[in-house]
Amino acid sequence: MGPGDLEKILSKLPVETSPRLLSRIDQGEDAGVFLLKDNLAIVQTLDFFPPMVDDPFTFGEIAAANALSDIYAMGATPVTAMNIVGFPCSLDMEILEEILKGGCGKVHEAGAVMLGGHTVDDEEPKYGLSVTGTIDPVDIKTVGGALERDIIVLTKPIGTGILTTSIKAEFITESEIADAIESMRTLNRKASEILFSHDVHACTDVTGFGLIGHLHDILKAGGVSCELWAGKVPLFEHTLEMASMGMMPGGLYRNRKFIGHWETRGEDVDPLLLECLYDPQTSGGLLAALPRKGAQDTLEELRKGPCPEAQAIGVITKGPEPFVTIQQECATQ
C-alpha cells in the first residue's frame, strides 16, 4: 500500500504503551524492538510480495533478502525466520519448492534458522518471511538521530521498481537487468557490518516508499532537513531509458504524491531522474546518516567490499521541518 493510506489507518489504532517496547511504529521504524531482559531485545519484522522475476528460486532469494533487510537496517542479528506463502493450488508444486529453497538458502546465508511457516491458497503466488533478530538495546540503530552536516550514504543503486515493471511489460529481458537482480538477491548483511563498525547516526533500508520516502523518515525522526544530490544517486543500467518509455510503476506516483510536497528542487535537476528518486525498491540498499568526519573512510570500505556502487548522495541540514532540497550536483562541499 502507499504510505498515505497506511498512515491514515495506523493513526486510528491504539498506541502501544509497554515500557519494554523500544521502537515506535509511527516513526517509520524498520522493525519492532521489544526488550526481553537488560541487555537483550528481540527485533521482529515481516515482508512478502508477488513475484517480480520469472525464476522461482531467484524470487525466493529476493523476497527473503528483502525481509531480512529490516533486521540489518537496525544493526541486529537475524536468528530465526518463518515462511509466509500464498500459492495457487492449480500451479505446479515444483515452483513452490524452488521459491522455498531460494528463501531458505538466504536465511542460512544470514546465519539464521528456518522454523517453519504458513501457506494459504491464493490467486497469485506471494512469498516472504517473518524474521526475528536479537540485539543489545544499546546498539540499536534507529531511523532517528541524524545531525546537521551528516553525510547521507546509500549502499545500492536504485531503479528496481522501474526495471521490474519493464520486465512485466516485456520491454526488457531479465538478462539485460542482471545487475539489478543480483543486487536484489544480495543481503545487506556485510554492508551493515561495515557501517555499524563505524559511527552511524541514523539508518534505514530503501524499499517500497522509494529513496526519498525513506530519506524523509530519517529527516522526520531526526527533526532535520537535507540536501540531496540527484546526480550522485547511483541508478541501475537502463533505469532512465525505461523511465523515459513510460515504465514507471504506480507505486512511484503514490510515493511522490505523499511526500512530494516536502520537496524543493533546483531548476537544473533532470525531471526524469527526479521521478526515479521516488521509485519503490525491492530489497534496496541501506541509507545512513554518518558523521562527516570518517564518512569518506566508511564509504571507501563499503566500495572496496560488498557495495562497489555505494555513494554519498547528500548532506543533512538544519531542521526542524523535514524538507528535501534536491540539486543536480553537490554545490556546498
Partner 1 sequence: MKTPDIDARGLECPGPVLETKKMLSQTDGRFTVLVDNEAARDNVSRFAVSSGCTVDMDEVDGCFLLAVTPGKTAARPKSEKTAPAARNREKIIFVSSDELGQGDGELGETLMKSFLYACTENDDTPSKFVFMNAGVKLVTVNEDTIEHLQDLEEKDVELLVCGTCLDFYGLKENLRVGRISNMYEIQSALIGADVLICL
Residues contributing to the site for partner 1 (CB under 8 A): 165-166, 168-173, 176, 243-250, 252-253, 257
Q: Give the nearer residue to partner 1 in terms of CB position, either 174 or 193.
A: 174
First to last CA, the chain: 37
CB of 247 to partner 1, least distance (A): 6
Q: Give the nearer residue to partner 1 in terms of CB position, either 28 or 213.
A: 213
CB of 250 to partner 1, least distance (A): 5
Q: Give the nearer residue to partner 1 in terms of CB position, either 110 or 163.
A: 163
CB of 84 to partner 1, least distance (A): 23
List the alpha helices (DSSP H) in 169-209. 178-184, 189-196
Q: Give the nearer residue to partner 1 in terms of CB position, either 246 or 294.
A: 246
CB of 251 to partner 1, least distance (A): 9
Give me the residues paired with residue 44 across strands. 32, 132
Q: Give the nearer residue to partner 1 in terms of CB position, either 122 or 199.
A: 122
Q: Give the nearer residue to partner 1 in terms of CB position, either 209 or 323.
A: 209
Peptide bond into 280 cis (omega under 30): no
Specify whether the CB–CB gap between 167 and 109 falls below 8 A: no
All 3 cell numbers of residue 101?
Answer: 529453497
CB of 270 to partner 1, least distance (A): 14
Q: Give the nearer residue to partner 1 in terms of CB position, either 173 or 264.
A: 173
Q: Which helix (H) or strand (E) holds 119?
A: strand 113-121
CB of 185 to partner 1, least distance (A): 23
Q: Give the nearer residue to partner 1 in terms of CB position, either 253 or 262.
A: 253
CB of 161 to partner 1, least distance (A): 10
- Long-range contacts of residues 59-62, Cβ cutoff 8 Å, at least 24 apart: 59/99, 59/102, 59/127, 60/98, 60/99, 60/100, 60/101, 60/102, 60/103, 60/104, 60/105, 60/106, 60/127, 61/102, 61/103, 61/105, 61/106, 61/185, 62/102, 62/181, 62/184, 62/185, 62/282, 62/283
CA distances from 127 to 99, 113, 114, 120, 242 (A): 8, 17, 14, 11, 27
Q: CA-CA-CA-CA torsion for 251, 1, 215, 167, nearest 10 degrees? A: -40
Length of the chain: 333
In degrees rounded to 5, what are phi and psi of residue 31? -150, 165
CB of 173 to partner 1, least distance (A): 6
